Structure 1
Amino acid sequence: MATFSKSTFSHASYAAIRPSYPPSLYNHILSFHHGSCNLLVDLGTGPGIVPRALSPSFTRLIGTDPSSGMISQAQSVTPSAQYPNITYEVASAEHLPFVEDRTVDMVLAGQSAHWFDYPRLWKEMQRIVRPGGTVAFWGYKDPVFVDFPKASKIMFHFGYDDRDDRLGPFWQQPGRSIVQDQLRKVQPPETEWEQVTRIEYEPGTNGQRSGEGTPFLEKRMKLGEVIEYVRTWSSYHAWREAHPEQRPVKDGGTGDVLDRMYKEMKEAEKWENENMEVDIEWGTALVMARKA
């Protein structure tokens, strides 16, 4: 079972701490899109960020997610009076029986495309998307402290080292590798999709926007908020299930893997406390294509 579908996963915490997407990202996608804007389907909608952001641009929007917990969270923060054109459905991306053939103008997937079964997915996209319609999938990697290279390096080691006291062994694969490789394995079939466009960004550690490519995702956060964000990673959730005896300090325990990670970062960068604000950027990838 995927981590986000488990009843023990905190869908509310995920919704509260995960980064939102900037208007520039949506503008890139809307500029790429041609034709009508009657129906949008958002795959792996999670807490429903994408449908709410694009509600003014489409007549009707459907957010789907295989996790009933995520759908409940999305519904709870999407009041029908404010968003009368949005509905949510518990469904996998590969099977959308409630969507009629060739009726969808745009299909989106934000930070969920690495979970898909692509042979089945492209078959379903071919069925539901109208000729000339758009698919746009994007994802983001790990947060980078753009002014603190030592901290960024420590976070990477804790996130991907194969030791049992790190998070590396607890990622669900091949999904995480697809994200880390900036969705390059997402290849729309050439016979069915055209004008495939890829936009990427790799952060640097010489200050804001010192990386390469087109930046989409950045945020100023308190150090404590960054650690709470990492606690929403699926690998951390799996690590906690494997180490129930190690409780975070904030919960009255003696410390867990992320407490140890923060201690190392704090010592390496000589940070003062968890209320210190830092600039964060994420490596991102956006893949867009138009149905032939």
Structure 2
Amino acid sequence: MEVETSKLFDDKADLYASARPLYPKVLFDFVASLVITHDKAWDCATGNGQAAIGLAKNFSKVEATDISKEQIANAFQAENINYSAQPGESTNFRNNQFDLVNVAQALHWFDYDRFWDEVSRVLKPTGVFVAYSYVWPHINDNVDHIIDVKVKSVIEPYWAPNNKLAWDSYSSLDLPFKTIATPNINLENHWDLDQFLSYIHTWSGTRRCIDDIGSSFFEEARKALQSVWGDTSKKMVVKNPLTIIAGSAWL
């Protein structure tokens, strides 16, 4: 069941770009408050640039990298964002050039022995590292129960081991810097049923499961959700609590 990481995120890159939760302005305001200057940020493992586009409003230049060329091909564009296909553990960036290194929804995918060295190398002495991720969505008890029983329980064997780090809020990760206190922030998206199911379909575990056993379980989940959603065009508030890690002063 092993899948190369770049291939995993190449798959359905166009859907990923359109169906993932968007980050709120309050998150990027907090990130911007962490640094002294706002010249240059590196958004590492940018995916389709959902974080890069937010950082671009607060930094003069954003370098956004990802190992998936397909993700970058579907990325959000801005004049001050430069996209490139590079692994986070080994880049062509100069030493000490970034005010911020940012990782959104990807900290669980790196080779840490190499990644932390690379982050330390490219950060300015006053620079800051920040990472954030979200896991399970919440709408209401009825919807959440159906997702638990008809989706999460089915796809559980198909998740990569890396995902457990995110589920556990990175509590077992050995961080090589002095941590900074972070606020409690939720992602909040207003989605109809089709938008919500498109998001569930972007989960790597969902896609792996469908590839292996087919999509009948997903169609069953759709029918069950329709019964509790009511008007399927009605927008529901979908909340995803964020885990946020920030630090500086490398140890």
Secondary structure class of the residue paired with 2:207 = helix
Q: Decide whether aligned partners of structure 1 residues 4 and 278 sit closer, same or farther in structure 2, where only a CA change above 3 A counts.
A: farther
Counterpart residue identity of residue 84, structure 2: E
- Aligned-residue offset at 1:149: 0.5
- Aligned-residue offset at 1:107: 0.3
Higher mean C-alpha displacement, 17-26 vs 7-16: 7-16
Equivalent position of 2:217 in the other structure: 257
TM-score by length of 1: 0.79
Secondary structure class of the residue paired with 1:123 = helix
Asked if the contact 1:24–1:216 (Cα under 8 Å) also holds between the matched residues in 2, the reply is no
Asked if the contact 1:42–1:64 (Cα under 8 Å) also holds between the matched residues in 2, the reply is yes
TM-score by length of 2: 0.90
| CA RMSD, Structure 1 to Structure 2 (Å) | 2.0
Query: For structure 2, which runs of at least 5 residues remain unmatched after alignment?
Result: none
Work out whether 1:237 is the aligned partner of 2:229: no
Q: Could you say which structure has the higher helix fraction?
A: 2
Equivalent position of 2:158 in the other structure: 170
- Aligned-residue offset at 1:87: 0.9
Asked if the contact 1:5–1:66 (Cα under 8 Å) also holds between the matched residues in 2, the reply is no
- How do 1:1-292 and structure 2 match up within 5 A? 1-2=3-4, 5-6=7-8, 9-33=11-35, 35-74=36-75, 77-78=76-77, 83-96=78-91, 98-145=92-139, 148-161=140-153, 166-173=154-161, 175-189=162-176, 193-199=177-183, 214-243=184-213, 246-247=214-215, 256-267=216-227, 269=228, 271-292=229-250
Aligned mates of 1:71, 1:168 — CA distance in 2: 28
Asked if the contact 2:150–2:220 (Cα under 8 Å) also holds between the matched residues in 1, the reply is no
- Aligned-residue offset at 1:198: 4.2
Count of paired positions? 248
Runs of 4+ in structure 1 displaced over 4 angstroms? none
Secondary structure class of the residue paired with 2:137 = strand
How many percent identity over aligned positions? 22
Counterpart residue identity of residue 33, structure 2: S
Secondary structure class of the residue paired with 1:288 = strand
Which has the greater radius of gyration? 1
Query: For structure 1, which runs of at least 5 residues remain unmatched after alignment?
Result: 200-213, 248-255
Aligned mates of 2:9, 2:98 — CA distance in 1: 31
Counterpart residue identity of residue 46, structure 1: G
Q: Decide whether aligned partners of structure 1 residues 219 and 84 sit closer, same or farther in structure 2, where only a CA change above 3 A counts.
A: closer
Aligned mates of 1:123, 1:114 — CA distance in 2: 16
Asked if the contact 1:130–1:291 (Cα under 8 Å) also holds between the matched residues in 2, the reply is no
Aligned mates of 1:24, 1:236 — CA distance in 2: 30
Asked if the contact 2:104–2:132 (Cα under 8 Å) also holds between the matched residues in 1, the reply is yes
Aligned mates of 1:153, 1:84 — CA distance in 2: 43
Aligned mates of 1:277, 1:13 — CA distance in 2: 19
